[in-house]
Amino acid sequence: MAMNTEDVLVEYFVKVRDAANEAIEQLTPQEIKEQVPSVSEANFDLNFTEYAGQKLGNFEVAEKNGNIPEKWTRGFNILKQANATISSRYHGENYDFTYWLYNRKIYRQKLKR
């Protein structure tokens, strides 16, 4: 079965694309590959209630009730996907707070710098 010019070109460009992707993968430094992009802290712009505890000190809690459901769910899902817990808190490079989940609530505490 003879291939037409368009099929030949498509096959050629697919091979060029695959070769370029392989070259990019091989040439990308490991430290760049390991970087995990963080999301904007604006995703956690929720209504938080302040609390103070003996062990934790000052912290804040956001519950689904009292927040816009879509915004709260977005923040919750980000933290859930990141497996954010009190011992493994979530924050980006320029965040003001650390965030974690506990009992289907979003907690945050001022980031100590």
- Do 41 and 97 touch, CB atoms closer than 8 A? yes
Quick check: 109 and 55 in contact, CB under 8 A?
Answer: no
pLDDT tens string 19-28: 877 877 787 7
Sheet holding 57-62, edge to edge: 49-53, 57-62, 105-110, 97-102
pTM of the model: 0.67
DSSP state of 96: S
**Is the pLDDT assigned to residue 46 strictly greater than 90?**
yes
Q: Is the pLDDT of residue 96 over 90?
A: yes
Distance, CA of 24 to CA of 31 (rounded, Å)? 14
- Read off the pLDDT of residues 67-84 as tens digits, 9 standing for 90 and up: 999 999 999 999 999 999
CA dihedral (17, 19, 21, 27) positive or negative: negative
